[in-house]
Amino acid sequence: MSSYTTNEMMTVAAARRLKNGAVCFVGIGLPSKAANLARLTSSPDVVLIYESGPIGAKPTVLPLSIGDGELAETADTVVPTGEIFRYWLQGGRIDVGFLGAAQVDKFGNINTTVVGDYFSPKVRLPGAGGAPEIAGSAKEVLIILKQGHRSFVDKLDFITSVGFGEGGDHRQQLGLPGKGPVGIITDLCIMEPEAGTNEFVVTALHPGVTREQVIENTGWAIRFADNMTVTAEPTAVELDALRALEARTAAAHGGQVGGEA
């Protein structure tokens, strides 16, 4: 097996979570990279939908934004953004929402709005986009981001998109129809919600990663599942497909690989 990076492990692990044939509402960046890797490997019949209206997008290079022409040119069809949200998402036709985040907490709530005080932030982030609606209405949600104290926080600076709210059945109390986040995939591990509390616990460590590393890079008292496993290493097929996708993207976009956020 050839060597691989922690970012490659994260992307491969996330791609494996996307079931073949699923209808997936994809966020730009890391979610798009993982979703397209899934389409090129384990899930060739996945239907990728982007906020700007493409349905069944099959980009040969990673899009730089939802307005990238590559998405429309390779899609089965393109519909108005309003139809994407009202008919597809809020109509219950999206199996998986694939989201990134700047911050996430132990109940899978996401911040993509500000770091620091809302009115005088340290960093003003790209904002919500369609993420609140995706998090609320998709049948399931997957979250992918790099793990560290600045991203895995005990308390979000701003709740952009609701996961399980305050935990337990709070999501149901809020009346959100979707199941909520079912996995957080990072460069260190995979986390899943604990039954009952819906607090995210580590269910798999990536090869070579220790519990101590995860603890050091998490802003809350992270817990580990009793039946925790080790993620299978990327295969040659997965790595070849990912690296070829990144190479095509870099060539098309003047060195920008995409999906690094």
Q: What is the domain-level CATH number for residue 38?
A: 3.40.1080.10
Determine whether 51 is an active site residue: yes
Domain-located, residue 260:
no
User: 72: buried, middle or exposed (CB in 10 Å: 19+, 13-18, 0-12)?
Assistant: middle
In a domain, 1, yes or no: no
Tokens 């798999």 found at: 204
* Strand runs labelled E in the chain: 23-26, 47-49, 54-55, 77-78, 96-99, 103-104, 110-111, 114-116, 121-124, 140-144, 181-185, 189-193, 200-205, 224-230
Please give the Cα distance from 28 to 163 (Å, whole number): 19
Total domains, the chain: 1
Can you tell me the distance from the alpha carbon of 223 to that of 191, in angstroms, rounded to the nearest whole number?
10
What stretches of 172-214 adopt beta strand conformation (E)?
A: 181-185, 189-193, 200-205
Give the pLDDT of residue 253: 86
Residue 173, pLDDT above cutoff 80: yes
Residue 130 DSSP label: T
Instruction: Please determine, for residue 258, whether its predicted confidence score (pLDDT) is greater than 70.
Output: no
Mean pLDDT of the chain: 95
What secondary structure letter does DSSP report for 138?
Answer: S
Please determine, for residue 1, whether its predicted confidence score (pLDDT) is greater than 60.
no
Residue 259 lies in a domain: no
Q: Which of 8, 51, 133, 199 is catalytic?
A: 51
In a domain, 194, yes or no: yes
The boundaries of the domain holding residue 116 are 6-251
Residue 258 is assigned to a structural domain of this protein: no
Q: Per-residue confidence at 257, pLDDT binned at 50, 70, 90? A: low
CA distances from 164 to 69, 136, 177 (A): 35, 10, 12
Residues 59-98: tens digit of each pLDDT: 999 999 999 999 999 999 999 999 999 999 999 999 999 9
Residue 256 lies in a domain: no
Tell me the pLDDT tens digit for each residue of 205-249. 999 999 999 999 999 999 999 999 999 999 999 999 999 999 999
What three-state secondary structure class fits 12?
Answer: helix
Distance CA 167, CA 18 (A): 25
